[in-house]
Chain A
């Protein structure tokens, strides 16, 4: 079974530029998550989709971050414009359902450096 795919793996941009990350979840997984992990910290949930609907985006900085999951499969996360404090690893995860017993499967992440 293929895992969660993310691209690119690394990205370096200058502040005020835009950047987009892509995630393809495990086939058949209804729920998709985007996390931000700053160096030395645990992942923080940015947004959670079930199929193509948003379940939770309470911690997404909506003035600069946006995410979509068209057709309920893959997803993109965009930052526009980027700030220095956005430097982090962006992790995508998916789970079969939305139940609290569902295991989340994580992709390898995209490491973003904002200069």
Chain B
């Protein structure tokens, strides 16, 4: 079963603009992670945010977590063509020892 639901399913923006993707989940979590998948490739870990954290930054990435709303957002600032990929949130549920991935947001950056 998949816990996270990403929104939107697809996003197309111009290079240089900011991209925001959202993830909602259903149960209590220990942490939430974001991964990127380029076409035909495996997933690459981007960032992990713990359940007691509200915001985290890594380069051009900013992740927020609202455990009361069971939601997270990933912001990519100053987007580049190389950011074109699918982005997945994955939750580490309390009581489980595995990650559960959402269905992903397909991001296209137009030059």
Contacts and interface: CB of A to CB of B under 8 A. Distances in A.
Given A41-B103, A106-B44, A100 B97 contact: yes
Contact of A104 (B99, B103, B104): B99
* Interface of chain B: mostly helix, strand, loop or mixed: strand
Interface stretch (A13-21, A43-51, A61-69, A78-86): A43-51
Nearest to B89: A42
A108 interface: yes
Interface string B31-64: 1000000001111110010000000000000000
Nearest to A92: B42
Given A101-B48, A103-B48, A108-B42, A45 B31 contact: no
Contacts of A103: 45, 48
Contact of B102 (A40, A42, A45, A48): A42
Interface residues of A, number: 22
A41 B97 CA distance: 21
17 contacts: A41-B104, A42-B90, A42-B103, A45-B98, A45-B99, A45-B100, A48-B98, A55-B97, A56-B97, A93-B42, A100-B92, A101-B31, A104-B43, A104-B99, A106-B43, A107-B42, A108-B42
